[in-house]
Chain A
């Protein structure tokens, strides 16, 4: 018998088929524009960082940011609307689909979108000579963990709020600071010391460190297991919170 989570995954793919254009530009093209404009433009002023050209150095950071952004933005309006307006999750509830299936099917779908975006980005990065190590093959896995962890946390958020006016706040106070303080554009060590722990608490920094290590063949700031551990903790907490938030909406 087909697993109900598979059916959930298939529904999202079907819907995506008619909606993919709405996210194609921001997921597939914008990251490349950043790579070119900041990597080449700003890089011209910066010179090199840690012995790599600036473009090579920020390419992994931009890739991790891409994973972070896909993880976050996939589960904002899409989850909110599926409760508030479309009601697709209430429809699933009337079948054999359990809340865990809803989440697993959704995460699997987010990973498909991520997979496409990461592949496109890596091909372009390779064309610019920004890929320095065979370990780059592991970068998509790191991106997957980062994206799922973030998408789980945001799904919990989106299932909890009752008005979509909270999303601008999420972007202003969580997403933007995260992308600015996670060592994407400059090393965290360049920040004042009292600000550095902020980066350690953010999932993106751990993703940036790991992706940068894979693409440049360097060693990350912390042991690999520690970085993975923080991301896994985000994933577990996000999953538990999302399940609770979904249950609260779907069962009384």
Chain B
């Protein structure tokens, strides 16, 4: 264990009866780092975050959060942590300020300090002009910002965000990213889960890809792409023909071929050269797209393309 780890987990397990939600994961999140958990639904992201937030008690393994044991020092950890869950859970009939002040009071802050922190946080998420409006008059994006402001009320060292931008429009997402980036600049450690590859790529220093309760890869977005996808992808389409029949014909080009329902993906160090080879073999795809590999390619490579429900 590195001494400055904000979150340290080794062999962490959570079982519900016969079902293993988290199956022996190792994590080390350094102070000031923005760490993302990426994975399909049911991969164990939320359960992992619940264990870090002392909501869920681990069934096995070691877990240290801010140097403390979640089973023994729940209040100590909570005092220095901000939690922003998937649902906003705001009091609709209270105003923006009342929601924030109430939450500050939950941490034992004095009335005066609570009001001061509430105003600062409303300002931080650009809701100062709505401070006296009831929450049920806010848009979805504003409510999400308010939840994040609330999670920040106690000046936490570690903030946990479960799918922070799910359901938001692009403008609201970008505003939120920009605020999260500011937190990062202040040295706050962020642990977030997301389904959005662009979000993970934009925000995260490092990402753990989870699948079926296990961490299947960890690294920076760049490292993950280099290790699991290679620099380029050539997408080949063959009109309405079933693409499966072309699989053998492109075999050997690039590092690897992926068959999708309507196109072939050829992973290659040099996309131009790979595309040229395709033509040299006498193939005439109806569409050729050479692009850089993305985190999404890594994601599908590691967690498969089948919908698991």
Partner of A14, one of B78, B79, B98, B151: B98
Provide the residues of chain A in CB contact with B115, threshold 8 Å.
none
Chain A interface size, under 10 / 10 to 19 / 20 to 34 / 35 or more: 20 to 34
Closest to B106 in A: A95
Chain B interface size, under 10 / 10 to 19 / 20 to 34 / 35 or more: 20 to 34
B55 at the interface (CB under 8 A from A): yes
B interface secondary structure, majority: loop
CB–CB B87/A96 < 8 A: no
Q: How many contacts between A and B, using CB within 8 angstroms?
A: 76
CB–CB B79/A96 < 8 A: yes
Closest to B105 in A: A7
CB–CB B106/A87 < 8 A: no
Cα A92 to Cα B150 with chains together (Å): 12
CB–CB A92/B57 < 8 A: no
For A166-179 the 0/1 string (1 means CB < 8 A from B) is 00000000000000
For B125-169 the 0/1 string (1 means CB < 8 A from A) is 000000000000000000000000001001000000000000000
For A81-96 the 0/1 string (1 means CB < 8 A from B) is 0000011101111111
Partner of A15, one of B85, B94, B111, B151: B94
CB–CB B91/A15 < 8 A: yes
Provide the residues of chain B in CB contact with A4, threshold 8 Å.
105-108
Partner of B102, one of A10, A19, A93, A252: A10
**Residue of A6, A7, A14, A94 contacting most chain B CB atoms (<10 Å):** A94
How many Å from the CB of B134 to the closest CB on chain A? 8
For A143-170 the 0/1 string (1 means CB < 8 A from B) is 0000000000000000000000000000
Provide the residues of chain B in CB contact with A252, threshold 8 Å.
16, 50, 55-57
Q: Which of B72-110 contact A (CB under 8 A)?
A: 75, 78-79, 83, 85, 87, 89, 91-94, 98, 102-103, 105-110
For A62-78 the 0/1 string (1 means CB < 8 A from B) is 00000000000000000
Instruction: Please list the residues of chain A having a beta carbon within 8 angstroms of any beta carbon in chain B.
Output: 1-4, 6-8, 10-11, 14-15, 18-19, 86-88, 90-98, 250-252
Instruction: Please list the residues of chain B having a beta carbon within 8 angstroms of any beta carbon in chain A.
Output: 16, 50, 53, 55-57, 75, 78-79, 83, 85, 87, 89, 91-94, 98, 102-103, 105-111, 151, 154
